[in-house]
Amino acid sequence: MKRYLSSLALALGLAAVVAPAFAEEGESLPSAGTNVADQASLQRGAKLFFNYCVGCHSLKYVRYSRMASDLGLSEEEVMTNLNFTGAKFGEPVISHMPEASAKAWFGKAPPDLSLEARAKGVDFIFNYLNAFYLDPTRPVGWNNTVFPNASMPNPLWELQGLQVAVHGAAKPGEEAAVEKLTIAQPGRMTPEQFRGATRDLTAFLEYAAEPAALERRSVGIWVILFLAGLTFLLYLLKHEYWKDVHDSH
């Protein structure tokens, strides 16, 4: 039991870390600090996804009805505030962008994000969302320090503002490396507010990658308590069975 409690305390401690938005080359990415048990965070993340992401990206393994149940939302709230494609309540979340248009604009169709958190990890997503910067050499005018030369523009630039790169000294025959990112034109959010917003969006994508995790985690607590109680009862039973043997000695 002590081992379980220690692991739980460590997990909660890691979840409370506030991650910076930029990781230098060769370093591990800062922790996203997401918490899928925080329903309010998931609701805010869902709002961001459906306002800024669903125009290009789908969640084909997530149904509106399941999302409503897991996030504590009513059918009316979901269909009024989160459903912009005309889908039915029991249907999956599918982007309304035509594939031909997507390929013409971005060179290829934007990926479905249902399993993105499991494929790339939440730390990658969180830092990726914070690492866009203006780059006139790129076709879409944006680049990213976490995923260089990405073909995706910054969908949250109105919230974050316009971020630019500060380059270091270039070595002979090499391009100058990005040392840090700075805000050249503020957005609607402060940097701290924006990190909170991208953390919520990352948490929602973490939930979308495995909706059953919420139910599994809540059941897991009761399983641990049951096993602890069963262990205590078995100890008493063992003590009762061996009482006569111990007394005879």
pLDDT value, residue 249: 59
**Ranges of the chain with pLDDT below 50:** 1-26
pLDDT value, residue 191: 96
pLDDT value, residue 14: 35
Q: How many residues does the chain have?
A: 249
pLDDT value, residue 173: 76
Q: Could you give the domains of the chain?
A: 2-210 (1.10.760.10)
pLDDT value, residue 248: 62
Sequence-ordered list of residues with C-beta below 8 angstroms from that of 89, at least 6 positions apart, any chain: 64, 65, 68, 75, 78, 79, 83
Q: How far are the Cα atoms of 99, 105, 135, 185, 204 from residue 160, in angstroms, in the given order?
A: 28, 23, 16, 9, 19
pLDDT value, residue 218: 64
- Angle at Cα 148 formed by Cα 137 and Cα 50, nearest 5°? 95
pTM of the prediction?
Answer: 0.75
pLDDT value, residue 27: 58
